[in-house]
Amino acid sequence: MFWALASAAASGRLTTGGLVVYAQCAVGVSLIAFGGFSWALDGASAPVAAVLRLERSMAPKGALSSGRRDPSAVPTREIRFRNVRFAYDGAHQQPVLDGFDLTIPAGTSLAIVGQNGAGKTTLAKLLCRLYDPQSGTIEVDGVDLRDLDLAAWRHRISAVFQDFIKFELSLRDNVAPGGAPDTTIRDALASAGATSLADLDTVLSRAYAGGTDLSGGQWQRVALARALCAVGIGARVVILDEPTAQLDVRGEAEIFERILAETRHCTTILISHRFSTVRLADRICVLEQGRVIELGTHDELMARRGRYRTMFDLQAQRFGEALDEEGATHDVLT
């Protein structure tokens, strides 16, 4: 364009005044155009910087290394915590577990009870290898967990945590995030008492067309189905952290008995505050200040008249009182 202006001025077709006006207009327009362009570039590149920052903060602190041993046949004998010490913040914090010893025979169920903050969920996280202990070892059939292939070990584990993830995806993908045959998914939903929640293709969020939302108890059944589905495709260690806290009492007992039956061939760890559920496990361990203070069957622990008995009686008494209140209200109403 500048060349066209110059040639028009040289041949006398454009006056000097016209040349100046046209040239100024051209410069002004290109400034606006390039100014806008660089502004757009700036806006478009901002997410790149954000993602780069995110990568830095998401990089795991002291990333966990994977071993090489194949865990596809373990555990056949036992899972063993041996003198485990663990603090979330390394040496700076009071340890959550200290001198922790526990053996869980393969193919049995163990319930863990203890007060809030006793370290129950921490135990489950260590077993999933979300963290490693600072000292001591966790062994599976005598092999240190750190020597096992990490991804393959996590496939052997099926865990439902207290704060399980609710994917804004279809019911199918919520039950089997890594994929599984529809029959396995339907069986898992049936065992978790969640058959009539929604169609497998329905998205579990109202934010999507045709999507639906679930209640807390219904979500919990979906999370249980997720664990059972993982068992259906090969997991052999099952961790249930407060799996039925949001279910009503009748639903809880019924579902939990069904889950125990479905996971009979697995090593199951159940964390719960509800003693009606806990007593169904083969063995129960009472955790206090990072150590096991009582371990045995429900009957053994009741006979010992220790901490388990105290907690059990307290809950039974409160439950009885609640029933009395319900009964009294009922009488008034009728």
Ligand X SMILES: Nc1ncnc2c1ncn2[C@@H]1O[C@H](COP(=O)(O)OP(=O)(O)OP(=O)(O)O)[C@@H](O)[C@H]1O
The dihedrals phi and psi of 84, each to the nearest 5 degrees, come to: -80, 135
Nearer to Mg ion, 109 or 121 (CB): 121
Residue 277 found at the interface with Mg ion (CB under 5 A):
no
267 within 8 A of 236, measured Cβ to Cβ: yes
Binding piece for Mg ion, criterion CB under 5 A, among 24-32, 120-128, 165-173, 252-260: 120-128
Which residue type sits at 13? Answer: R
Give me the least distance between CB of 307 and Mg ion, in Å please: 18
Taking CB under 5 A as the binding criterion, the range among 15-23, 113-121, 191-199, 209-217 that sits at the site for Mg ion is 113-121
- The helix/strand/coil state of 145 is helix
307, 286 in Cβ contact below 8 A? yes
Q: How far is the CB of 54 from ligand X (least distance, A)?
A: 20
Pick the closer one to ligand X by CB: 97 or 214: 97
Contact between 263 and Mg ion per CB under 5 A: no
Among all chains, which residue has been given the structure tokens 């929604």?
A: 198
Residue 235 CA to residue 266 CA, distance in Å, equals: 8
Least CB distance from residue 119 to ligand X, whole Å? 4
Tokens representing residue 325 in the block: 């209140």
| 134 touches 174 (CB < 8 A) | no
Residues at the contact surface with ligand X, assessed by CB under 6 A:
88, 96, 114, 116-122, 162
Stretch that binds Mg ion, among 115-123, 180-188, 205-213, 293-301 (CB under 5 A): 115-123
Stretch that binds Mg ion, among 6-14, 118-126, 144-152, 321-329 (CB under 5 A): 118-126
Q: Which is nearer to ligand X, 61 or 250 (CB)?
A: 61
Rounded to a whole number of angstroms, the minimum distance from the CB of residue 184 to ligand X is 30
- Say how many C-beta atoms besides its own lie within 10 A of residue 129's C-beta: 17
Q: How many angstroms separate the CA atoms of 192 and 171, rounded? A: 13
Q: Compare residues 189 and 271 and give the one whose CB is closer to Mg ion.
A: 271
Q: How far is the CB of 174 from ligand X (least distance, A)?
A: 23
Q: Which does 47 bind (CB under 5 to 8 A by kind): Mg ion, ligand X, none?
A: none
Nearer to Mg ion, 36 or 117 (CB): 117
Residue 330 CB, nearest approach to ligand X (Å): 33
Rounded least distance, CB 269 to Mg ion, Å: 12
Among Mg ion, ligand X, none, the one that 290 touches (CB under a kind-dependent 5 to 8 A) is none
Our CB check for Mg ion shows the closer of 120 and 156 to be 120
Please give the angle made by the CA atoms of 84, 235 and 200, to the nearest 5 degrees.
130
Say which entry of ligand X, Mg ion, none residue 114 contacts (CB below 5 to 8 A, set by partner kind).
ligand X
Instruction: Region of 247 please: left (phi>0), alpha (psi -120 to 50) or beta.
Output: beta
- The residue from 71, 111, 113, 121 that contacts Mg ion (CB under 5 A) is 121
- Contact in structure between 236 and 77 (CB atoms under 8 Å): no
Are 86 and 131 in contact, with CB atoms under 8 Å apart? yes
Which amino acid appears at position 223 of this protein? A
CA–centroid distance for 102 within its chain: 24
Q: Are 145 and 153 in contact (CB under 8 A)?
A: yes
- Stretch 166-205 residues interacting with Mg ion (CB under 5 A): none
CA distance 290 to 101: 10
Quick one: 191 or 272, whose CB is closer to Mg ion?
272
Q: Which CB, 75 or 114, lies closer to ligand X?
A: 114
Least Cα distance to 266 among 68, 69, 104 occurs for: 104
Contact residues: Mg ion, CB under 5 A: 120-121
